[in-house]
Structure 1
């Protein structure tokens, strides 16, 4: 089937075109990872000329960074973790993590970031920065004055990221189809074990 020619250069209604490109890029990076996603495939998905992507973002790397902007509110994260008894913090951490994964606004970028980080150093760096700045910087408050606090916090993060990979990327059964409550009951006490005694 013959494709319709796409208009080159800067289009009218630039913001909607830019938004469409970002949405297409998120979907492509989520499905293919950074290395396998191409500017041409993203342009086809967004129904724009590849030149328009270069106009707005310059490079595939810049497009990836813009598309993987994960909207996680640090204040909401802290509130979710801090809002309850300390002995239930492990369960709240798992619940909060699964809630963020369940939100389409964050799930797509997180999937794209995880898939890409497996094969691309730039994506791995972005994932490290996200974990350090958004997640660990908040979790470390719980581990103040604990000699191995950083190690405990990173082990806790590894536990949760591992769940995300098996559940949403690898889709390993039965963890992929287990309910959130089943996982919270199973993994919450394990995560609680990383926390220092009050």
Structure 2
């Protein structure tokens, strides 16, 4: 009896979408989001630039697919940049906690683990922090670019430390603390990083 042919993609055959994603991950990790164009990604993947637009509406969607974000940071953090500067730290922390304590937590944990174990993945996650999170946290705040970069790095260090301690390592009492308690404990530190005086800065 003749076996009917199987439908679908042949095993071992890489689709143009997979080629594009692989090239995009490489270039985003090496050069960053802003310095990487869709045309360069297409060239690296060996496909026509139109094929990139066939699979993705633009660079933003392609980047999100590369990092496999479980939620759109623009939606989660949309209101943070509109918050008054003097309460920006609390607003940022609450938005991040709501995201991490949602159904997205398993996927976020997977991203955190992969970032720790892979230099390329870590570079992509860093791009997410810089382009999608810190931009909103620092929007409208005064200071030179050097000062804002320093403030952003301090905020990132605090947030990453909290995520690792609370969700990955499950360090108590952080792991079981409620949002209000965490905001009371950590919010002032974030706020200081955002708007308080820093050593070496005027």
TM range (shorter): 0.5 to 0.7
**Residues 67 and 137 of structure 1, relative CA distance in 2, 3 Å threshold:** closer
Check the 8 A contact 2:80/2:137 in 1, yes or no. Answer: no
Q: Which runs of 5+ in 1 are unaligned?
A: 1-6, 12-49
What SS does structure 2 have at the residue aligned with 1:173? coil
Matched, 1:117 2:115: yes
Q: Structure 2: how far apart are the matches of 1:180 and 1:79?
A: 18
Check the 8 A contact 1:117/1:124 in 2, yes or no. Answer: yes
**CA-to-aligned-CA distance 1:16-73 (integer Å, 9 cap, x gap):** xxxxxxxxxxxxxxxxxxxxxxxxxxxxxxxxxx9499669758x85x9557234224
TM-score by length of 2: 0.61
Q: Which residue of 1 aligns with 2:97?
A: 98
Is 151-160 or 67-76 further displaced after alignment?
Answer: 67-76
**Residues 179 and 52 of structure 1, relative CA distance in 2, 3 Å threshold:** farther
Q: Which residue of 1 aligns with 2:141?
A: 143
Matches within 5 A, 1:147-158: 147-158=146-157
When you count helix as a share of all residues, which structure comes out higher? 1
**Residues 8 and 134 of structure 1, relative CA distance in 2, 3 Å threshold:** farther
Q: Structure 1: how far apart are the matches of 2:106 and 2:149?
A: 28
Q: How far apart are residue 118 of structure 1 and its match? A: 0.9
Q: Structure 2: how far apart are the matches of 1:53 and 1:81?
A: 44
Report the number of matched residues: 150
**Residues 91 and 140 of structure 1, relative CA distance in 2, 3 Å threshold:** closer
Q: Which residue of 1 aligns with 2:176?
A: 177
Q: Structure 1: how far apart are the matches of 2:122 and 2:99?
A: 20
**Residues 142 and 195 of structure 1, relative CA distance in 2, 3 Å threshold:** farther
Q: How far apart are residue 97 of structure 1 and its match? A: 1.1
Matches within 5 A, 1:11-160: 51=11, 58=18, 62=22, 68-74=68-74, 76-83=76-83, 85-105=84-104, 107-146=105-144, 147-160=146-159
Q: Structure 2: how far apart are the matches of 1:159 and 1:115?
A: 17
Check the 8 A contact 2:88/2:137 in 1, yes or no. Answer: no
Q: Structure 2: how far apart are the matches of 1:111 and 1:99?
A: 14
Check the 8 A contact 1:143/1:153 in 2, yes or no. Answer: no
